[in-house]
Structure 1
Amino acid sequence: MNILLVEDEARIARRLERMTRAFFGPQLASLTVCESLPMALRALHTAAPDLLLLDLNLNGQDGFDLLKSVAAGAFHTIIISAYTEKAITAFAHGVLDFVPKPFTEERLTQAFARLTIPTAKPENALQFLTVKKQGSLVLIEVKELRYIKGAGIYSELHLLNGRKGLHDKSLNKLTQLLPASFERIHKSYIACLTQAEKIIVQEGSRYQLLLKSGQLLPIGRSRYKELRSKIN
C-alpha cells in the first residue's frame, strides 16, 4: 500500500500519519506527506499511490482542483476536511469516503476499512466517472452507463448511446463506488440492473443476463442466486 497524504497543518498531518501507520502496519510500503497542491501534483506525477488522503483547504488553495485533476486515476481518494458542505460534490466525483474534521481515530479507521471490507453504499453515491480523452478529462454521468467490462487493470464503460470509454480504475474499485443499482454479475462485468430484462438459464448451468438493448452478458455461477433475487 502506497499512500499520499496532502495536509497543510503539520499537527494534523502528524496525527494522520500516526493513525495511518497504525492501521495498515506492514501493509504500508510508503507514506508521502505533502503540504501544498504543487507538491502533491509532483508526487502524483512521480508515482501514483494506491490511496490519496486529501484536505480541501491547503493554505487557501482548493483541494478540489487536485481532486478533479486525478478523478480518472486508478487509486481511491478519501477526503479529510472541515468543509462538510462539499461532501455531496466529493462523493459525486468518486471519492471513497469523506471524513469530517475534527475526526476521531474510529472514524478514520472506518474510512480505511472501506478499502477491504464490503459496506453499504454511501447515501450520496457516485454521479460521474471521469475518463481521459485526447489529453483532456471528460465527465460521464453514471446514469448513462449500461454496463462495465473489465479490461485488464482498466474498465471499459459501455454507454446507453453505444459509445465506450476507458477508465483507469479496476472493476473492484468501481464496485466500491457505484450506486446500489449496479451489480457485479461476473468477474469481468458490472451491470446496471435498471437496464436488465431477464436472466436466461442455459444447459450446463450457464447463465446470461439479457439487457433491454438485446445484449447478453455472462453471469458467474456464484453470483446467480443473489442476482436472481434482485432481478425478480
Structure 2
Amino acid sequence: MIKVIIVDDEQHCIDRLKSLFLTKFAEKLKLVGIASSVLSAYDLIVQEMPDLIFLDVQLNELTGFDLLSKFDKLSFDVIFTTAYEKYAVKAFKFSVLAP
C-alpha cells in the first residue's frame, strides 16, 4: 500500500485529486493526510512518512518548493499539481536535481 499525502490550499483541488487518483486506485493508495500550508505539511510528512505527495506549487504565501527545501533528502516521491505554467520548468528541474 502506497501512503499518500495531499498538500493543497484549495478544497476543490483536493476533492479532484481524491476522485481522480485515490478513488480509482483505492486498493493501492492510502490517503494518510491532507495539509493546506507548508508548516502543516512538514509536520504531517514527518509524522506519517508518506511514500508519495501530491504537492500544489503555490500554497498561500509560500510554495511547495519552500516545503521541499526543508528536507535534507526526500524519502518520498512528489507529483506536482499546479495551475501555474510558470512553475513547470522549476518543478522539472527540482525533480531532476532531487536525490
TM-score after normalising by structure 1: 0.39
C-alpha distance in 1, partners of 2:39/2:45? Answer: 10
C-alpha distance in 1, partners of 2:39/2:25? Answer: 27
**Match for residue 11 of structure 1?**
12
2:22 maps to 1:46: no
How far 1:69 moved relative to its partner? 2.6
**Match for residue 62 of structure 1?**
63
Letter in structure 2 aligned against 1:22: T
Shift in CA distance, 27/85, structure 1 to aligned 2, threshold 3 Å: same
**Match for residue 21 of structure 2?**
20
Q: Which has the higher contact order (CA 8 A, sep 6+)?
A: 2
C-alpha distance in 2, partners of 1:35/1:13? Answer: 10
**Match for residue 80 of structure 2?**
79
The structure with the larger Rg is 1
Superposition RMSD on alpha carbons, in Å?
1.7
C-alpha distance in 1, partners of 2:30/2:24? Answer: 13
**Match for residue 35 of structure 2?**
34
How far 1:129 moved relative to its partner? 3.8
Q: Secondary structure at the match of 2:24?
A: helix
* Structure 1 residue runs without a partner (length 5+): 95-125, 131-232
Shift in CA distance, 71/24, structure 1 to aligned 2, threshold 3 Å: farther
* Structure 2 residue runs without a partner (length 5+): none
Higher helix share: 2
C-alpha distance in 1, partners of 2:62/2:98? Answer: 24
Q: How many residues align?
A: 98
1:1-232 alignment, distance < 5 Å:
1-70=2-71, 72-94=73-95, 126=96, 128-130=97-99
Letter in structure 2 aligned against 1:39: S
Letter in structure 1 aligned against 2:29: L
C-alpha distance in 1, partners of 2:30/2:57? Answer: 25
C-alpha distance in 2, partners of 1:19/1:71? Answer: 31
Shift in CA distance, 71/87, structure 1 to aligned 2, threshold 3 Å: farther
C-alpha distance in 2, partners of 1:60/1:129? Answer: 23
C-alpha distance in 1, partners of 2:72/2:92? Answer: 11
- For the 8 Å contact 1:7–1:34, the answer to whether it is kept is yes
- For the 8 Å contact 1:71–1:93, the answer to whether it is kept is no
Q: Secondary structure at the match of 2:13?
A: helix
C-alpha distance in 2, partners of 1:93/1:71? Answer: 13
C-alpha distance in 1, partners of 2:77/2:13? Answer: 21
Cα offsets for 1:76-119 (capped at 9, x unmatched): 1010012222222211121xxxxxxxxxxxxxxxxxxxxxxxxx
